[in-house]
Amino acid sequence: MTQEALVTQGPLTTETGAPVADNQNSETAGAGGPVLVQDQLLLEKLAHFNRERIPERIVHARGAGAYGTFTLTRDVSQWTRAKFLSEVGKETETFLRFSTVAGNLGSADAVRDPRGFALKFYTEEGNYDLVGNNTPVFFIKDAIKFPDFIHTQKRDPYTGSQEADNVWDFWGLSPESTHQVTWLFGDRGIPATFRHMNGYGSHTYQWNNAEGEAFWVKYHFKTDQGIKNLTTDEANRLSGVDPDSHQRDLRESIERGDFPSWTVQIQVMPVAEADNYRFNPFDLTKVWPHADYPPIEIGKLELNRNPENIFAEVEQSTFSPANFVPGIGPSPDKMLQGRLFAYGDAHRYRVGINADHLPVNRPHAAEARTNYRDGVLYDGRHRGSKNYEPNSFGGPFQTEQPLWRSTRVGGVTGNHPAPRHAEDDDFVQPGNLYRRMTEDEKGRLVDNLAGFISQVSRDDIAERAVDNFRRADGDLGKRLEAAVLALRA
């Protein structure tokens, strides 16, 4: 597929527009002499080359993305006043970035790892970012544990490699991780492509309607291509043959007009039901059973346009769950609360304070009106306007209309664990997940878990890891213990 040239034909120039006479030979003091520091083109090229990369994301570094369209197929005005969700048939431009979590920028796509599912809606009320994964749950409940968790997944500071000891030590000491680990080492732990997996908002969010009523909501994106996964052996072979397999598949499917799509669903919980629900509905390690809150189909997401420049549009794309629009807001989910700060802060460090000025990040269907000025890459968009509010010179003004409804809180400040509910338990849901598997799926789960746990060097760490699965389901624990012992022997 040929790409239209965006740089016009004509003489090559420097960044400041001066024509380049010779782009093949550095300027020297005579033939064969030393290079002169006055060679502006040489210095400019080398200096730019040294700075062509920005710091990679600490997590979700390896990714691919595409533009698309979200189409609303159901009236949801009873739950939210968001304008992009206001009319059946309404279309909203989107950008979706897929990613792996633990690997660095040069890692392979076909690995056992959660997949990021970060979706930007370019709405008429500003950009709305929904930052999720391909799993409905996560490893931990509280953002204060996130840096420690990620350190266990990354390279050990001494060995320079990911260490099974670190991974299973943390998971074994954090029983709340058992549900997500069961997902990760099951069949869906290695999707065949980005197109053949579901996406989830994972967190609980608030929707609020025009009458002032609030609801708790979870998002589901069900792939219309069907679920397809890779076995460990298939993934290992593919990673060696084509490390870019998932990125290539996404790009080529859109190029040939085979646009991937997802059916969008929500679960809705009335706010009044949250306090007395049988477990904490804001616990990111748990799902809401569909029997309690059936998924409701509300729309269709289609990806239909590839980025023209991966660095500009994928690598520099930024997402933050703090980017809400009227009618949508946060919940007391402690992981979400930490991410409201951490995502934006990461992008300000990594891309720059004016990252939101970049085409992929700025609003496409709305206008940004701020009093922020200056900083790296500031584009001068404000010209001579005043940089404070309120002012008497026609500047932007506050609306006095909050984006979301207030949430009732109370009690004494302190480092509190989340409130306990009647059936809060770290092992019920992973046990239920295991018991829903076929016998073949159970066998692969045990093999995948045992293969990794058997690499642990200390017996106590391995035993504690197995015990968490035993507490989820006795049969799973018994089979896993036998498999680990056989491999460690």
| Residues with a known catalytic role | 60, 133
The span from the CA of 170 to the CA of 465, in Å, is: 9
Separation between Cα atoms, residue 349 and residue 177, nearest integer Å: 29
Q: How far apart are CA 72 and CA 57, in angstroms?
A: 32
Q: Which pairs from 374-383 meet CB under 8 Å and 24+ separation?
A: 376/352, 377/352, 378/354, 379/354, 381/357
Give ∠ CA 252-308-315 in degrees, rounded to 5. 95
Q: Is 359 within 8 Å of 313 (Cβ atoms)?
A: yes
**256 touches 206 (CB < 8 A):** no
Q: Assess contact for 178 and 139: CB atoms under 8 A.
A: no
CA distance 262 to 69: 11
Closest to 130 in 3D by CA, of 99, 96, 84 = 96
Q: Nearest CA to 277 among 199, 331, 329, 321?
A: 331
What is the separation, in whole angstroms, between the first and last Cα of the chain? 54
Contact 448, 112 (CB under 8 A): yes
CA 169/CA 163 separation, integer angstroms = 10
